[in-house]
Structure 1
Amino acid sequence: MTRINIGLTEEQRSGVMNLLNQNLADSYVLVVKTKKYHWDVVGPQFRTLHELWDEQYEELSENIDELAERIRTLGGYPTGTMEGFLSLATLKEHSGEIPTATGMVTQLVEDHEQIIRNLRSHVDRCSEEFHDQVSADFLTDLMQKHEETAWMLRSFIEGKALEPDRQKPTETRTLVGV
């Protein structure tokens, strides 16, 4: 094998690859849960959630591929077995459960938020501890995708009535330069 000389030591690359493999494992657990909920959802929200989770499943699959490719770029091999994923993942399976549609959404929100917290830590470590700004940027972009997905899912279950804008039509804001 040709020695990799990209300005990172083997120890730095190894540290980053360990973080990336944890993200890969969490992504695999999440993609399995998302697909399972896509199949199992019932009720008045069926069509909406079924289609939403199909889109999210596809995006997660792309993220998984990009994580694996980043690991290969750094000279490593991505985890590729369910046993490996489950041993590295911070997310937990919910075997034997079929929650309500709202329960499914709630669990997925919690999972995306866990991944976001992990990514936030991993971004800092990639940058500060391992000096790999490319991986830090990659994980930042991934975190943004999870934040958007979590927001969409949270919006589905918030269920609070929206308050009308309390500003009276006669009250206007002064625009600078007008």
Structure 2
Amino acid sequence: MRKLNIGLTEEQRQGVINLLNQDLADAYLLLVKTKKFHWDVVGPQFRSLHQLWEEHYTALTETIDSVAERVRALGGYPIGTMEGFLKVATLKEQAETVPLATEMVSQLVNDHEQVIRNLRDHVDQCGDQFHDQGTADFLTGLMEGHEEMAWMLRSFIEGESLQSDGSQQSQGIKTPVGV
């Protein structure tokens, strides 16, 4: 096999590959949870959540493929088994029961936020420790996608009364958003 000559040492590439495989494992677990909730949701929110989660698992499927291909571009091999994913993932399965729709949303928000925190750390490590700005940029894009999905899910369960100027109504007092 021809040795890669892309400006990164073997150790740098392996460090990045390890981070990417953790991101891949988390994305796969998040995909499985999202699909499961897509199938199991019931109640008045069924249609909107069913459709939203279909959008999310479609995006997660694309993310998974992109991460695996990035691992291959760096000369590594992506994890490809559930056993492997479960060993390195930071997310945990919650297979005991089928929760109510709002709890499903809450669990997915927590998972996306965990992935976002991990990606922030991995962006820094890729750039600072491993000097792989390309992967740092790639992970920044993934992080932005998870931030949008988390926002959509949070918006579903965090309803607040807002004024037309974006301020919040709090016990009869008008408060600017973010204060």
Please give the TM-score of this superposition, normalised by the length of structure 2: 0.91
| Aligned residue runs from structure 1 range 1-178, under 5 A | 1-165=1-165
Counterpart residue type for residue 10 of structure 1: E
C-alpha displacement at 1:163, in angstroms? 3.5
C-alpha displacement at 1:48, in angstroms? 0.3
Specify every segment of 5 or more residues in structure 2 that has no aligned partner in the other structure, as ranges. 168-179
**In the alignment, what sits opposite 1:176?**
none
Instruction: Write the distance in 2 (CA, Å) between the matches of 1:97 and 1:82.
Output: 20
Could you say what secondary structure the match of 1:79 adopts?
coil
| Offset from partner CA, 1:137-168 (integer Å, 9 cap, x none) | 0000000000011001000000222234399x
Larger Rg: 1
- Residues 82 and 163 of structure 1: CA distance in aligned 2, closer, same or farther (over 3 Å): same
**Amino-acid identity (%):** 69
Instruction: Write the distance in 1 (CA, Å) between the matches of 2:128 and 2:166.
Output: 46
| Offset from partner CA, 1:108-162 (integer Å, 9 cap, x none) | 0000000000000000000000000000000000000000110010000002222
**In the alignment, what sits opposite 1:173?**
none
**In the alignment, what sits opposite 2:174?**
none
Instruction: Write the distance in 1 (CA, Å) between the matches of 2:166 and 2:28.
Output: 45
Instruction: Write the distance in 1 (CA, Å) between the matches of 2:97 and 2:15.
Output: 35
Q: Number of residues paired by the alignment? A: 167
Could you say what secondary structure the match of 2:23 adopts?
helix
Instruction: Write the distance in 2 (CA, Å) between the matches of 1:165 and 1:3.
Output: 59
Instruction: Write the distance in 2 (CA, Å) between the matches of 1:142 and 1:12.
Output: 21
Please give the TM-score of this superposition, normalised by the length of structure 1: 0.92
Aligned-CA RMSD value? 1.2
The farther-off stretch of 156-165 and 19-28 is 156-165
